[in-house]
A and B are shown apart, each in its own frame.
Chain A
Amino acid sequence: SQKIEQNSEALNIQEGKTATLTCNYTNYSPAYLQWYRQDPGRGPVFLLLIRENEKEKRKERLKVTFDTTLKQSLFHITASQPADSATYLCAPPDSNTGKLIFGQGTTLQVKP
């Protein structure tokens, strides 16, 4: 069955460093993948979408890569700030229904 895996352990980094979060998927090849941010007590907020024919996508300090060979997407935040602290969810679509499948999320903590 289609499976999405994100590192369940929280990622703690120092302000100014680059944060890198990983999303691995198995048993299928999604046509695209989305990344969302979720703050405590709030619903997820869309950040970026990357398609299978795009190796990299950027938005301000955010960068997403999509490696269809490794079946992996990496989410980078450069020059991280304490305000970047949140849980980040990857979400590719189900190959049969097209509905988004949300990963469990990785919590990022940026320390000042």
Chain B
Amino acid sequence: GAGVSQSPSNKVTEKGKDVELRCDPISGHTALYWYRQSLGQGLEFLIYFQGNSAPDKSGLPSDRFSAERTGGSVSTLTIQRTQQEDSAVYLCASSSRSGTSGQETQYFGPGTRLLVL
């Protein structure tokens, strides 16, 4: 596709339920990021995938959060046993970054707005 897409665009769930958020990066981009943005706040890094390397999970706030990236393309962020404080916009970004010294530009999707009741 022309850009990064995310689905669903909005998700309302009940506390304790599991949710899956999907990200389709730009074709050919090797790097994929997940961020969380609470209302009026900045972007909080969650997890980073680069090619076939082990993902950088250093930003995941708890073990209820996990993500995978299948075939080096589509990624799914899963939140288990959701809590009200998980309510936020979850943004995905991809880039053609390679290595740690690349001056990458990140291309963001529109985000998924998650509301946990």
Contacts and interface: CB of A to CB of B under 8 A. Distances in A.
Q: Name the prevailing secondary structure of the B interface residues.
A: loop
Contacts of A102: 35, 42-43
Given A49-B103, A49-B105, A98-B101, A89 B110 contact: no
B103 A32 contact: yes
Chain B, interface residues (CB within 8 Å), range = 20 to 34
A99 B111 CA distance: 20
Nearest to A98: B100
Interface string B73-117: 000000000000000000101000001111111111111000000
A34 B91 CA distance: 18
Given A89-B42, A105-B42, A43 B93 contact: yes
Given A98-B100, A98-B102, A46 B107 contact: yes
Interface string B43-74: 10100100000001000000000000000000
A100 B108 CA distance: 13
B111 A43 contact: yes
Interface string B14-41: 0000000000000000000101000001
B42 A43 contact: no
Interface of A: 31-32, 34, 41-46, 49, 51, 89, 97-105
29 contacts: A31-B103, A32-B103, A41-B110, A43-B4, A43-B91, A43-B110, A44-B43, A44-B106, A46-B106, A46-B107, A49-B103, A49-B105, A89-B43, A97-B100, A98-B99, A98-B100, A98-B101, A98-B102, A99-B45, A99-B48, A99-B56, A100-B104, A102-B35, A102-B42, A102-B43, A103-B42, A104-B41, A104-B42, A105-B42
Interface of B: 4, 33, 35, 41-43, 45, 48, 56, 91, 93, 99-111
